[in-house]
Structure 1
Amino acid sequence: AGAQAGFTANLLVAGTDSLLQGLTNQAINAFLGKEGAFVVDVTCNWYFMFVSTFLCALVIGWVSVHIIEPRFPKYEGVETEEAKVDITPVEKKGIHRAALAMLLYVIIVIIGFKAQVLSKDGVTVVGSLMLKGLIPLLFFLFSIGGLTYGYSVGKFTKIKDVNAAMVKQMSGMGAYVVFCFFCGQFQGLFNWTKLGTLLAISGANFLKGIGFTGLPMCIAFILVTACINIFVSSGSAKWAILAPIFVPMFMLMGYHPGFAQLLYRLGDSPGNCFTPMSPYIWMILSVAQEKYMPDCAIGTLIANMIPIAIVLQIAWIIFLVVWVTLGLPIGPGVGLALPAGVL
């Protein structure tokens, strides 16, 4: 629920921000007829999504405790011997060394930023190379920590040990791989018929023809996106279809394209936790059956995810209305209104 229903909410700029921002800029370029005339930055939704992280945690946690958990009997898990083992002095030393290595890496990144290797002026974060390259920077951060710990405690002595550790983590995913095979066939047929594309375009044209303005139109767009999300799970695929229609439409109505992207993300997230079209729900089911509830079925999982998605969607829309009413920026230098002179 946390990873899927609150999919786009992050404290830091994530890969989703970069992916959707690129599609938004492509739609802007096509609409204006020239490339680079007006662009949105990868941080265009950062402020709103930062605060939304806490909103999602509170809403999902509350629904889980008060609505979902009472449906089940008390969980009587089997405590494994591994869970009873205390951390050893060698492992403590490994953790300390890993933390130190990660700290040194962060210091190096900061020095690179201040030395204008990862930035233009050593001060501005927005638009900097450090922010654009956040994903590889994070990859090396956690790789350094994991490798330092592994070699410190003696788990890793050669490169084959690293490979074996990765294989071990994937060994419990056999059921997921089987699920993926059949899900892939279904999604392939679904895409081959173009049914998802037809549904998305039909929904977009319907909303465009309604003629809503202001918050009612924004809420309608969120709900249409949420309905499409049930049939097309890929966030980038949906936005690639919807952006060329809705980004120009919102711009002509005086809205910032970053705001249109934000509305899309609010509708694209909550339903991810229960749509069978999402490959991750099968992975979650596999883990649940493997570790916690062997007789868990897909119906049980979906039925208990739906209330979370519905309540979160309502809460997110209310939160958006409050945010818009207060006139708060949704990202650094990005508000609801389209800057003057763009059109």
Structure 2
Amino acid sequence: MEVEIPTEHRAPKVEASAWRWRDLPGAAAKPLRDPLLAVNFLLLAVGAACGPLLLRLYFLRGGSRKWLSSLLQTAGWPLLLVPLCFSFSSRRRRRSRQGDDATASGGVFLMTPRLLAASAVVGLMTGADNFLYAYGQAYLPVSTSSILISTQLAFTAAFALLLVRQRFTGSTVNAIVLLSVGAAMLGMGSGGDRPAGVSGAQYAAGFGMALAAAALYGLVLPVMELSQAWHAARAGAAALTYTLVVEIQVVIGLTATAFCAVGMLANNDFQRQSQEKPGSPNSARRATTCCWSAQPPCTSASASA
């Protein structure tokens, strides 16, 4: 499961004070020809398309627990343990065949303590971002929330410029301007797409939370890239392989899920679980409203169908 980065693509070992993002060359070659990477792209596309719809459908059908919705966004992290187990077994067999008895029983993980701590911080940021995103989805139609979340590009570009010295390009500037104008137009006409049953205050709160989620996630990505770059620039650090990236994702998912679980405990979401059973009065009332845009309310018969 390890996709090693060739030696010539590893980061040069430089002093921390003199480090610049441009000192790190490009990543591994032939990324589009890697079937494993193609599968990851496919899963990311499916999740990005279906996730907002399912989350909004939960709130439409009577759901109200935002912390639970936040937890479910990263609760699938244990699935990443499967490729990690295969990778660890493969490493042990390969080292045993090479006669490297000293390392055949080496550590399970490739992460360093500093990279582990950085990934945990990113996980806490991701957990907070999950809550902001779920809060926005509770009161906004999917079309509006998707446009607001897409402003993440502007925040990512700004934080990338500050943290990793990523330079702007013409395409980036054009995209930032278009997305910023789109968000501003949505804000000026905020009453036109408000779903039925959502008050003006709730809509405004959801609008602000969605923008905050975009801003926070725009910070998460450069921080994650910066931590990996610092790891690659350290002398004797493990190569940035696929296995190491999966380990980082496991730590991020575990920390974010634990953060949301604490929020559920503080909000008594576990005790309120029985209140959201199908057929409850709250569910029947919420199921009669449309979900994706500010259209007139659906009839009860069509909603139940």
TM-score when scaled to structure 2?
0.30
Comparing both chains, which one has the higher relative contact order based on Cα–Cα distances under 8 Å and sequence gaps of 6 or more? 2
TM-score when scaled to structure 1?
0.27
